[in-house]
Amino acid sequence: MTSTAARPDDVKSPGSVADPRRTSWPVLVVFLVPALAIYVGLTAYPAFRTIYDSFFTIEGLDATFVGLDNYRALMSDETFWVAVRNTFVWSFIAPVLDVSTGLLLALALYAGVPFARFLRVAWFTPVLLSYVVVAILWMWIYNYDWGILNEVLRAVGLGALASSWLGDPNLALGALIVTHAWKWAGFNMVVCLAAIHSLPREVLEAADLDNCGWGAKLRHVIVPMLRPTLLNLYILAFIGKMKIFDLVWIMTGGGPLWATETVSTYVYKRAFNWNTFDLGYPSAIAAVWFGVVCAAVVILNRVLASKDRLEY
């Protein structure tokens, strides 16, 4: 770093300065307390309440302690397991789609395609739309009779492939995943682009001088150097998908035949749609799911990121 290199004389001796990675408690308090206060007041308490509720059955204003009954019932709840399966499929597969599309788009912009400034905005517009609007638009796109997807298929002579995309249990989940990827690819692109821009230019130029093709450059230089960013994006997308709700709720409501039921839609159904004020059971689902996602994130971090943290 140039800044330190320019000033070695200022350092009297390394030992005389206090360890710069330590600081006094008041400073930490100033930095951390606002965040922790918000966390404790508005996140931890409701979360704790949820876990507490999961040991009760609640009828109106009366709560009855039932111990682990909700958890036991959950283990044999068929719908819950279907929801878990769907959510896992979505969470593990879809982020790959999101992140790789985002990376390719960012590379295209970085490589200097014409109209890059326009394209950067054009590709980002889906991110700006709310789930409600995205859901309505894509329900039209997937419409059997006049949706653009089927219209195009019919126009190119593939009319036999025209389907009721959201109405077929074999296709509905895939259709939702595509819609979700459509919305989020642009966000991944922006983050990747920022990361590419902050790569040391010399490395990329050196690769250019070596007459390194784009493929090789991508594999040997760009992807390894972007690893922390890509990983962050993957985990972020993963968590987003583990909680996925709005899009599914509006487009399919978990149907047909529970083919698109996710854990969050099931929690919501149990909490708001099952003609009961019982928060116990949905709280149990939320608590279990909280554990599962935490564990998954920790494992993902271990498996994928073992060496990244140490490098800096």
Partner 1 sequence: MAFFSMLGARDPGATPLPRLFARGGLALVIGAYTIYTLGPFLWLATMSVRTTGEISLDHYAWPSPFHWEQFRIAWVDSNFATYFWNSTLVVVGAVAVVTLVGAAAAHALARYRFKGNRLIYAVLFSSIIFPPQITLISLYQILVDYNLYNSLLGLTLVYISLQLPLTVYLLEGFFARIPQDLFDAAKMDGYGDIEIFRRIVLPIGMPAIATTLILNFIQLWNEFLFAVVLITDPDKRTLPIGIRAFMGDHFQDIGMIAAGVMISVVPVILAYIFFSEKLIRGMTAGAVK
Partner 2 sequence: MRWGRFGCAVAAAALSIGCMGPALAQPAQINMWSNWPDEPAKKDWVSARVKEFEAANPQCAVKLSFIPKADIYTQAKSAVRTGQAPDIFYLEPDQPEFLAGGFLEPLDSYIDLAGLEDWAKPAWTSKGKVYGLPVEAYTVELYYNKDLVKKVGVDVPANFQLTQAQFTDLVKKGVAAGITPISQGVGDRPFPGGLVLYEALLRKLGPEDYGKLLDGTLSYKDPRVIEVMDWVKGLVDAGAYPKSFSTLKLGESHFYFYNTPGSLTFPDPSWFTGRAFAPPESGGMPANFPLGIMQFPAMDGGKCPECKTLAVAGSFVMYSKSKNKDCAGALLKSMATRDNGTKWMEQVSLQTGLASDPSKIKSAHADYFAELNARNKGVKYFFGTPLFHYRAKCAETYTQVMNNAFPAGLISVQDAADKMNAACFKG
Q: Does 50 bind partner 2 (CB under 8 A)?
A: no
Q: Which of 68, 144, 158, 197 binds partner 1 (CB under 8 A)?
A: 197
Q: Does 160 bind partner 2 (CB under 8 A)?
A: no
Chain-centroid distance of CA 236 in Å reads 4
Q: Does 69 bind partner 1 (CB under 8 A)?
A: no
- Would strands 56-59 and 62-65 be described as parallel, antiparallel, or unpaired? antiparallel
Q: Which of 104, 153, 171, 204 binds partner 1 (CB under 8 A)?
A: 104
Q: Which of 15, 26, 60, 67 binds partner 2 (CB under 8 A)?
A: 60
**Number of neighbouring beta carbons within 10 Å of residue 241:** 22
257 binds, among partner 2, partner 1, none (CB under 5 to 8 A by kind): partner 2
Q: Does 190 bind partner 1 (CB under 8 A)?
A: yes
- Choose between 1 and 303: whose C-beta lies nearer to partner 1: 1
190 binds, among partner 2, partner 1, none (CB under 5 to 8 A by kind): partner 1
With beta carbons less than 8 A apart as the criterion, state whether 283 and 53 touch: yes
Least distance to partner 2, CB of residue 11, Å: 60
Structure tokens at 148: 């653009």
- Choose between 110 and 258: whose C-beta lies nearer to partner 2: 258
Q: Does 209 bind partner 2 (CB under 8 A)?
A: no
Q: Which of 275, 302, 307, 311 binds partner 2 (CB under 8 A)?
A: 275
Per CB under 8 A, the segment of 78-86, 168-176, 253-261, 267-275 that binds partner 1 is 267-275
- Choose between 72 and 219: whose C-beta lies nearer to partner 2: 72
| Region of 64 on the Ramachandran plot (φ > 0 left; ψ -120 to 50 alpha; else beta) | beta
- Choose between 271 and 304: whose C-beta lies nearer to partner 1: 271
Within residues 170-189, the interface with partner 2 by CB under 8 A covers none
Q: In the chain, count H helices and then E strands.
A: 16, 2
- Is the preceding omega at residue 256 within 30 degrees of 0, hence cis? yes
Q: What HEC string does 99-141 produce? A: HHHHHHHHHHHHCCCCCHHHHHHHHHHHHHCCHHHHHHHHHHH
With beta carbons less than 8 A apart as the criterion, state whether 110 and 104 touch: no
